[in-house]
Amino acid sequence: MAGVNKVILLGRLGSDPEVRNLPSGGKVVTFSIATSENYNNKNGEKVEQTEWHRIELWEGLANIAEQYLKKGDMAYVEGRIRTEKWTDKEGIERNTVKIRGNALQLVGGRGAGNDGATESSSTYSGNSGGGYAPKSAPIPMPPPAEMAGSGSDDLPF
């Protein structure tokens, strides 16, 4: 429980949320949201650079995302960075960086696609402002142990 690891994102979903039901009965929902920045490169040309953020939501937030979010929607997500190490089928070590969300705010549909409906707006929270699960959290936070193949951590030097 040391330090602060907080991410705040506001962007659009690149695809519908993917739902995964766990043997344990839990639920995980994942999707990507895009943020972008524009700048002029050294040749003076306009460049738009898009960053894709892989979001992972558990339990309550997973349910909400499953029900209310779809491709093209804009969402506010608060969470923490989580790197998962794994080995691909070629035996190559790889890292996946995800945002484990602990708060979600829907900020409106895709415009086209929600045919005139006003955008919605509701915040839902998992636990943990700083993204740190209290040791025995009354608000349940999926134990990382369930996070299949995730875990581990080590020094980058």
Partner DNA sequence: TTTT
34 lines the binding site for its own copies (CB under 8 A): yes
Give the per-residue contact string, 60-99, with DNA (x = CB under 7 A; - = no): -----------xx---------------------------
* Beta carbons of 31 and 72 less than 8 angstroms apart: no
As measured in angstroms, the least distance from the Cβ of 146 to DNA is 22
Residue 70 binding its own copies, by CB under 8 A: no
- Per rule CB under 7 A, is residue 24 in the interface with DNA? no
Residue 64 has what DSSP assignment? H
Q: Which does 13 bind (CB under 5 to 8 A by kind): its own copies, DNA, none?
A: DNA
147, interface contact from DNA, its own copies, none, CB < 5-8 Å by kind: its own copies
With vertex at residue 130, the alpha carbon angle to CA 2 and CA 71, rounded to the nearest 5 degrees, is 135
68 binds, among its own copies, DNA, none (CB under 5 to 8 A by kind): none
Residue whose entry in the numeric block shows the structure tokens 């524009």: 38
**Element at 67 (helix H, strand E):** helix 59-68
User: What Rg do the C-alpha atoms of the chain give, in angstroms?
Assistant: 17
Of 41, 118, 136, 152, the one binding DNA by CB under 7 A: 118
Quote the CA–CA distance of 96 and 48 in Å, as a whole number: 24
145 binds, among its own copies, DNA, none (CB under 5 to 8 A by kind): its own copies
Structural tokens at position 119: 């955008």
**Which residues lie across from 97 on neighbouring strands?**
83
